[in-house]
Structure 1
């Protein structure tokens, strides 16, 4: 994957502009791996020095896409949720995975996914 658009129709994305508590944010995301995998989520945390993700390898153009999108957001919008359609579904000031999972689970595409997996 070389750009954020490469994930469209395959994954939901969580982009986080980390502040001082970068390790805590990354640990929170890593500890929710089962729920994240179940919802086809790929996450990126911009630590200012680099971008951390649940993807094995990040291309420099993908890192640039993540940083550029987060830089365009207002300072109080540190967490972005992007749907499989590529649209921004929420902008939050902090990472609240329960709220994000709830928002995703209410999306029509996710409802179909859950119905089809039973």
Structure 2
């Protein structure tokens, strides 16, 4: 019985660690997480270049862009961070492609998953159609 309990803890622990790594963003930020097998990736470079031209729109929508590679992750936009050890790549990447991207909403749910560079218009349209974003825009209009 003790061995089963220990095994259960080891099976659950990695999932909790991943959740904890992203929990700090829940209800505060939406996340675009890009999964690549290594730090350098042409599609990631393209995605980063596109989003750098839309920084104000990203900030307005409370978006952070995160790069995840096996064993670590870092924030790329709007302000870059240092690499941190993590299991995000291992736990959330679903395809064998060298580039995968997910959008995680304020509630922590995955709202989009794709293996191509994401156009800002598609991203912003999707986010702006979400109930919490509509409420944010309504509040912004009231403040003006």
Q: TM-score scaled by structure 1?
A: 0.80
Listed one character per residue, the Cα deviations across residues 16-46 of structure 1 (whole Å, up to 9, x for unaligned) are 1244333222111211101100000011134
1:37 matched to 2:59: yes
Q: 1:53 to 1:12 in 2, by over 3 A?
A: same
Distance 1:65 1:31, change over 3 A: farther
1:106 pairs with one of 116, 121, 129: 129
TM-score with structure 2 setting the length: 0.67
Greater RCO, 1 or 2 (C-alpha within 8 Å, sep 6+): 1
90 and 22 in structure 1: CA distance in 2 versus 1, 3 angstrom threshold? closer
Q: Within 2, Cα distance between the matches of 1:7 and 1:110?
A: 16
Deviation at 1:52, TM superposition (A): 5.0
**SS of the residue aligned with 1:113?**
helix
Which structure's CA Rg is the greater one? 2
CA distance in 2, matches of 1:113, 1:7: 17
Picking from 30, 35, 38, the partner of 1:17 is 35
Note the alpha carbon deviations across 1:39-72, whole angstroms, 9 max, x for none: 00011134679645124434624xx2442344x3
Structure 2 residue ranges without an equivalent (≥5) = 1-19
Please report the RMSD computed on the Cα atoms of aligned residues, expressed in angstroms: 2.5
State the number of aligned residues.
114
Q: Which moved more, 1:49-58 or 1:72-81?
A: 49-58
